[in-house]
Amino acid sequence: MSGGPAVRVSIESQCERQVQEVSLDGLETYVPPLSMSQNLAKLAQRIDFDQSSDSEQESREPRSQPEPEEDEGVWGVFYLERSYVVFSRFDSASVQTPQVFQLISKKKSLATAAQLLLKGAEKLTKSLAENQEQRRQRDFNSELLRLRSQWKLRKLGHKILGDLSYRSAGSLFPHHGTFEVIKNTDIDLDKKVPDDYCPLNVQIPSDLEGSAYIKVSIQKQSADIGDLGTVSLFRRQPKAKPASQMWHLKLEAAQNVLLCKEIFAQLSREAVQIKSQIPHIVVKNQILSQPFPGLQLSISLCHSTGEKKIQRASPDKSKPDDHLYVLEHNLHQLIREFHKQTLSSVVMPHPASSPFGHKRLRLAGPMAYDKAEISSLQQSEGLLEKIIKQAKHIFLRSRTARTIDSLASRIEDPQIQAHWSNINSVYESSVKVLITSQGYEQICKSIQLQLNIGVEQIRVVHRDGRVVTLSHQEQELQDFLLSQMSQHQVHAVQQLAKVMGWHVLSFSNHVGLGPIESIGNASAITVASPSGEHTISVRNGPESGCKVLVQFPRSQAKELLKSDVLQEGRWTHLRGPYREVHWGRMEGRNFVYKMELLMAALTPCP
Amino acid sequence: MEAPPVTVMPVTGGTINMMEYLLQGSVLDQSLESLLHRLRGLCDNMEPESFADHELVYLLKGQQGNPFMLRARRSLLHPTAPWHLRYLGQPEVGDKSRHALVRNCVDVAASHSLPDFLNEMGFRMDHEFVAKGQVFRKGAMKVVVSKLLRVLASGNTENTEPMSLSYLVELSVLAPAGQDTVSEDMRSFAEQLKPLVHLEKIDPKRLM
C-alpha cells in the first residue's frame, strides 16, 4: 500500500505477431497469422526427406520431446518420418547394413540426380528455342535495315511501303511503283529452316512481275504486214524461281520492268506523234520503222511473267541473235539522260516564285525570241529519232565492213586493207582503206581512202584531196572501190617506172578511148625505157581488165615494109609498131611483179 | 486612225488558265535544319538550291473598292534573270473537302524595266520584302522554305531585318484547271512532313 497517487500501469502482452507496416496515423498492420496449411508448409520445409521412411533405425529411435503440433492427429503421417538427433549408446557390432537398403538408397539418390539433370535440360532447351525465336526477330530487323539502306521506305499506318520507281531520279512516268514489305512468318520452328529462307518478303505490283527487256533488231522487211501479229519472244529464262528469290533480286527485276515500260511508252508516243516520211507502225508491243528501203527496224518490249511457258514462234527461232544489244543499252542510257535533264539545276526557278522550266526559255518573253530561236532552244530530237539514227549508222557500218571484206576475199591483186578506228561516236565511224600490191607496198601507195561513215551517207576523202559522197547503197561503194583498184594498177606502173628509171610519156586517170566501162573509167599510161627503144602502154579498166602493149624499135620488127621515104639507117632505131603482151601467160604473182619483169626484160644489159 | 478593236471575250486556254494549289506552314528557326534534312530525303535527288529574292507588291486602286494586286519578283543571286510578274486570283470556293488552297494564277516573265512600266501604268508599290531560303522539288510539286526579311529603306536590299523568328514553308503545284488528284498528292506529301511542320490550307481572307 503506497501513499502516493495511483499510477496507471499498462501491461501489454509480448507481441506475437510481426508488424507489417505502420500507417501515417499510427495504426499498425500486423502480418496475418499463418493458416494451418501455410504453417504445415513451413514446417515441411524443415523436414529432411533423405532418410528413408521405413528404416528400422528410425523407428527404433526413441522420440524425444515432441513438438507442440504433434498433438494434431491429422498430420501424424509426416511426423512418423521425422528423424531426431539422439545421443544413445551405439553398439557397432550389432550394426548391419543390409544390401537392400543400400540399393534402395542408391536408387533414390540417382533418381533425384536424374530429375535435377532433366529439369536443367528442359530449361536449356526452352532457352535455346527462345533464342532462336529472338534471332529470327532480329533477322527481320537486320534485313529491314539492309533494305532501307538501298531503297526508299516509308510507313503508312502499320504497313511499310517502298518506292521502286524512278520518279525521284527525274522520271515523269505516271506509274506509282510502290511495293510493300511483309514479314515472312510461314516458317515451322520444328522443321529444318530452308537455306534460302528470308524473314523479309516484298510484294511488288502485279504488272511489274517477271522480267522484261527491249529487243531491237534489224531485219529484211517482211513482205506481208500481217506477219507482225505475235511478237518476238523471250530469250532463255533465268534459272531462279520467282517465289523464292531474294527481295533485292525481285525489286531490281521489277524496277527494270518499269524502266522498260517507260522506254517503250516514250517510244510509242513519239512514234505516233512525230511526222516522218515513212510512218512508224506501232503494233501491240512492237514498233516498226523503215530506216532504209528494204529494211525494217523493230523495237519490241518483251515482258515475261514467268508463269507459263512462252510459246516459241518458230520463224524467229532461226535467228536468235539478231538482237542489237548496243542499241538496247543506248536506249537505257538515253532515258536516264532524259531523267537527269528534268532534275538539272537549270530548271530550278530564279526567282523562286516562277514556274519550273529551262532558264533560257524563261528569257524568251522578255528578249522577244522568234520561233527559230525558241525551236533551237527546245529539244528537237526525241528518243525514237535518236535510236533510229543510231540503228541506221550501225547498219551502214556493218554493211560497209561486209562490202570491203567481200572484195578483199574475192580479189587478190591488188590487195585491199581496212584499218578501222577504235574511237567513234554513235553517229559516225571512220575507216582507212589502203589499196596495195603485195611486195610493193612502199612503192605503190598512192591510193589511200578515208571513209567517214555517217548516218545515211559515206564520205570518202582521197589522198589527193578529192571528196566523194556515196549513198547508203552497197553497190555504189563496191563500184567505187573497184574503180579505185583499177586506177591503182596504173599508178603502180607509174611509181615502178620511177624506180626502174623508165620515163612516163603519158598518164591519164580517165581515158576517153577504148570500150566504155560500166563502172568508173579506164586509166592508161605509157612509159618509155631508159634507152628510149621500148615503150610499154598499159590500159586498165575495172571491167575490161588490163591490156599491155609493147613498142619495139623498127629494126626488130619483122613485118616492116621497106619504104622509099626512110633512106638512112638511123631511122631504124625509132620505135615502130606495137605488139600486145599475153598478160595472162606472163610470169609473176601479181600485176606489178609482172610489170617489173617485163621492164627488166626490155632493158638490155649493158 | 481608229484604235484596233479590243476583244471583249476573255482569253482562255494556254497558260492563262493555270491554277495554283497551295499549302502553307511555318517552322521556328531552331527546327529548320531537321526540316531541311527531311525535305532533302523526301524530294528529288538534287543539290539544294538556295535563292534570295526581292518582291514588290503593286496595287492599282480603281474607282471600285478592291484594288488590283500584282507581284513583281526578281532574283538577287541572278541579277540577269528576268523579273517574274504574278497575278493571284481569289481562292476558289469549291467543296470544303479539297485539301489545298486553289486559286487562279498567271505567271509572266518580264524584262528589267518592269517597275517603271508598272508605275507608268498607274500601279503604286504597296510594300516590298526580301525572301531568302531554299527551293525543293518533287515531280511537279515545289517546296519553298523562306525567311521573310523586311526592307528598311525602300529600294535598298542590303539593309534588311527578319520579320519573325520562323521560316515560311510553302508547298505549291501549278496545274491546269480541273485536276483534283493534285491536291491528294499534296496532302499525302504534307502527311510525311508531320510533325516537323503542319502544312495546311490558310485562307488569306481570314487573315485580313
ipTM here: 0.80
Find the mean pLDDT for residues A39-54. Answer: 72
β-strand pairing of A159-163 with A152-156: antiparallel
CA distances from B118 to A161, A367, B90, B124 (A): 51, 18, 22, 8
A510 secondary structure, DSSP code: S
CA distance B75 to B55: 9
Return the C-alpha torsion angle A108, A111, A113, A118, nearest 10. -160
Tell me which of B46 and A473 has the higher pLDDT.
A473
- pLDDT above 70 for A317: no
Q: What is the mean pLDDT of chain A?
A: 81
Length of chain A: 606
Q: What is the mean pLDDT of residues A422-433?
A: 93
CB-CB neighbors (< 8 A) of A172 in chain B: 139
Mean pLDDT of A432-441: 92
Query: Residue A30: pLDDT above 90?
Result: no
pLDDT of B59 reads 92
Instruction: Please check whether residue B9 lies inside any domain of the structure.
Output: no
The answer to whether A291 touches A218, Cβ cutoff 8 Å, is yes
Of A138-142, A332-336, B99-103, give the lowest mean pLDDT range.
Answer: A138-142
A334 neighbors A214 (Cβ within 8 angstroms): no
% of residues, chain A, pLDDT over 70: 81
**What residue of B is the nearest CA neighbor of A347?**
B137
Q: What's the mean pLDDT in A516-528?
A: 92
* Strand-pair partners of A581: none
Share of chain B above pLDDT 90, in %: 45
What's the pLDDT score for residue A187? 63
- How close, in Å, is residue A159 to chain B by CA atoms? 14
Beta strands in A413-518 (DSSP E): 415-420, 429-436, 448-453, 458-462, 467-470, 503-508
Is A421 a residue whose pLDDT tops 90?
Answer: yes
Question: Can you give the residue range of the structural domain that contains B113?
Answer: 18-206
Q: Would you call B109 and A365 a contact, using CB atoms and an 8 Å cutoff?
A: yes
Question: pLDDT (tens digit, 9 = 90+) per residue, B183-192?
Answer: 888 888 898 8
Does any domain span residue B11?
Answer: no
Dihedral Cα A440, A442, A447, A453, nearest 10 deg: 110
Contact B138 A168 (CB under 8 A): yes
Contacts of A449 (CB under 8 A, 6+ apart): A432, A433, A434, A435, A460, A461, A462, A463, A484
pLDDT higher than threshold 80 for residue A403? yes
A106-114: long-range pairs with CB below 8 Å, 24+: A108/A52
**A348 with B84: Cβ contact below 8 A:** no
pLDDT at A347: 78
pLDDT at A134 over 80: no
pLDDT classification of B28: cutoffs 50, 70, 90: very high
Find cell 503542319 and name the residue.
B198
Predicted confidence at residue A566, as pLDDT, reads 73
Count of CB atoms within 10 A of residue A200's CB?
Answer: 19
Residues 6+ apart with CB under 8 A from A154: A160, A161, A162, A163, B192
Please indicate, yes or no, if residue B184 is contained in any of the structural domains.
yes
- The answer, yes or no, to whether residue A516 has pLDDT greater than 80, is yes
Q: What is the pLDDT of residues B168-188, one digit of tens each?
A: 999 999 888 777 788 888 888
Q: Residue B110: its chain A contacts at CB < 8 A?
A: 365-366
Degrees, nearest 5: CA angle A460-A461-A466? 115
Contacts of B144 in chain A (CB under 8 A): 352-353
- Alpha carbon distance A448, A461 (integer Å): 9
Band (pLDDT 50/70/90 cuts) for residue A298 is confident
Contact check, Cβ <8 Å, A352/B43? no
Would you say A602 and A536 are in contact if contact means Cβ atoms under 8 Å apart?
Answer: yes
Distance, CA of B138 to CA of A531 (rounded, Å): 90
Per-residue confidence (pLDDT) for residue A243, from 0 to 100: 52
Dmax (CA) for chain B in angstroms is 65
Judge: A168–B75 Cβ closer than 8 Å, yes or no: no
Instruction: Map out the domains of chain A as residue ranges.
Output: 386-474, 488-557+570-602
- Asked if B53 and A168 come within 8 Å (Cβ–Cβ), the reply is no
Q: Quick check: A143 and A246 in contact, CB under 8 A?
A: no
Burial of A110 (0-12, 13-18, 19+ CB in 10 A): exposed
- Closest partner CB to A348 (pick from B73, B111, B135): B135
In chain B, how many domains are there? 1
Residue A531, number of CB atoms within 10 A of its CB: 13
Rounded distance, CA A497 to CA B42, Å?
A: 80
**C-beta separation of A300 from A285 below 8 A:** yes
Q: Which amino acid is at B1?
A: M
Q: Is B12 a member of any domain?
A: no
A504: number of Cβ within 10 Å: 14
**Residue of B108, B131, B135 lying closest to A349 (CB–CB):** B135
Q: What is the 3-state secondary structure (H, E, C) of A401-436?
A: HHHHHHHHHHCCCCEEEEEECCCCCCCCEEEEEEEE
**pLDDT digit string (tens) for A213-254?**
888 888 887 655 555 544 444 554 444 455 556 888 889 999
Q: What angle do CA B138, B142, B143 make, to 5 degrees?
A: 100
> Which of B83, B107, B167 best tests the A interface by mutation, with the highest count of A CBs <10 A?
B107
With a CB cutoff of 8 Å and minimum separation 6, the contacts of A98 are none
Rounded Cα distance, B110 and B73, in Å: 10
Quick one: which of B192, B137, B167 has its CA closest to A343?
A: B137
Q: Look at the block and give the residue holding cell 584531196.
A: A465
Contact criterion met (CB below 8 Å) for A555 and A574: no
User: Residue B182 maps to which CATH number?
Assistant: 2.40.320.10
pLDDT at B204: 75
DSSP secondary structure code for residue B54 in this structure: E
pLDDT of residue A405: 95
Cβ–Cβ below 8 Å for A352 and B107: no
Please work out, in degrees rounded to the nearest 5, the angle formed at the alpha carbon of residue A444 by the alpha carbons of A440 and A446: 155
pLDDT, one tens digit per residue, over A89-123 is 656 555 667 888 899 999 999 999 999 999 999 99
Question: Treating both helix axes as pointing N-terminal to C-terminal, what angle do A247-273 and A383-410 enclose, rounded to 10 degrees?
Answer: 90
Tell me which residue of A485, A448, A455, A488 sits closest to A469, measured CA to CA.
Answer: A455
**CB-CB neighbors (< 8 A) of B45 in chain A:** 168-169, 343
Residues 6+ apart with CB under 8 A from A108: A52
Does the pLDDT at position B201 exceed 50? Answer: yes
CA distance B106 to B70: 10
Within 8 A by CB and 6+ apart from A571, the residues are A554
Q: Give the pLDDT of residue A138.
A: 65
pLDDT of the residue at A61: 47
Task: Give the whole-angstrom CA distance, residue B61 versus residue B90.
Answer: 17
Q: Give the model's pLDDT for residue A400.
A: 94
What percent of chain A has pLDDT above 90?
Answer: 30
For the segment A176-191, the average pLDDT, to the nearest whole number, is: 76
Per-residue pLDDT tens for A587-600?
889 999 999 999 99
Write the pLDDT tens digit of every residue in A64-81. Answer: 444 444 444 444 444 445
- pLDDT for res A359: 81
**Range in A47-61, A309-323, A397-411, A557-571 with the lowest mean pLDDT:** A309-323
Contact B45 A366 (CB under 8 A): no
Residue B8 lies in a domain: no
C-alpha distance from residue A350 to each of A464, A486, B172 (Å) = 56, 66, 16
Does the global pTM surpass 0.90?
Answer: no
Using alpha carbons only, how large is chain B's radius of gyration in Å?
Answer: 18
Task: Give the DSSP letter of residue B122.
Answer: T
Q: Who contacts A25 (Cβ-Cβ below 8 Å, separation ≥6)?
A: none
Pairwise pLDDT comparison (A91 vs A555), residue with the higher score? A555
Distance CA B152, CA B10 (A): 40
Output A61 or A202, whichever has higher pLDDT: A202
Specify the residue for cell string 537549270.
A346
Question: Is the pLDDT at A167 greater than 90, yes or no?
Answer: no
**Chain A contact for B128 (CB, 8 A cutoff):** no
Cβ atoms of A288 and A384 within 8 Å: the answer is: no
Average pLDDT over residues A546-563: 81
What pLDDT is recorded for position A70? Answer: 44
Looking at residue A230, its pLDDT comes to 44
The answer to whether residue B142 neighbours chain A at the CB level (below 8 Å) is yes
Of A160, A134, A129, A165, which is closest to residue A147 (Cα–Cα)?
A160
CB contact (8 A) between residue B45 and residue A343: yes
Residues whose CB is less than 8 angstroms from the CB of residue B100 and which lie 6 or more positions away in sequence, other chains included:
B21, B22, B23, B173, B182, B183, B186, B187, B201
CA distance A179 to chain B (A): 17
Note whether B77 contacts A: Cβ–Cβ < 8 A. yes
